[in-house]
Amino acid sequence: ITGKLCGIPLNMPMGINEYVGKLPTYLPHAHCLMNVLAKQGYNQVYAQGSSGDFTQKRDFWRVHGNVTIHDIEHYKRTGKIPNDYKVFWGFEDRKLYGFVREELDSLASLGAPFAFYMLTVDTHQPGFVDDSCQAQFAGTQGVLPKSLRCASFQLARFLDWAEQRPWFSNTVIAVMGDHAMPSLSSKVKISPDDTLYWT
């Protein structure tokens, strides 16, 4: 995220315990896309189906452009999901796409420029296959390959929906991967000789 939105690499300890709550602030001198858009009057929202506290993402978005954060805690507070709900990392990407559709239309209705960022997690190792995709991709072997196919299907449906919205003609949509992990290539039938790109 910092590489794509701030143009700099992020060097942090990799253990989960080292990630959480250790930095007093998050890259305070970095000038990121969100800072630029905030100065131009953009309403900005970041959405994900897991906790914004993991890897201090909440701090990152707040420091850079004071972006509104809609994570699992937000969706529980607003009654979108039950307080005791937990699937995989938080809740399914399918649900997140539904919430994002509502939020994009709501932002567009304000008449101001907006930027909306979202993070899906169903394809995070070891992979999660949504119930809506189980039958459709029953012939695909392995959880990770199945979750990748499901993610592609969900993204395609979302982009088809976006294309029909009145705000689409004046909107740029960028789809980016998280990170390449060559060690996972064999699990998704990618030859070791091929280069795996995250964008």
H or E segment and range at residue 44? strand 43-48
DSSP, res 163: H
SS3 category, 93: helix
The verdict on whether omega for the bond into residue 126 sits within 30 degrees of 0, i.e. cis, is yes
As a whole number of angstroms, the distance between CA 158 and CA 164 comes to: 10
pLDDT at 60: 87
pLDDT in tens, 102-133: 999 999 999 999 999 999 998 888 888 888 88
pLDDT at 104: 97
pTM of the entire predicted model: 0.86
pLDDT at 17: 57
Helix axes 93-109, 143-163, angle to 10 degrees: 20
Contact 104, 116 (CB under 8 A): yes
Low-confidence ranges of the chain (pLDDT < 50): none
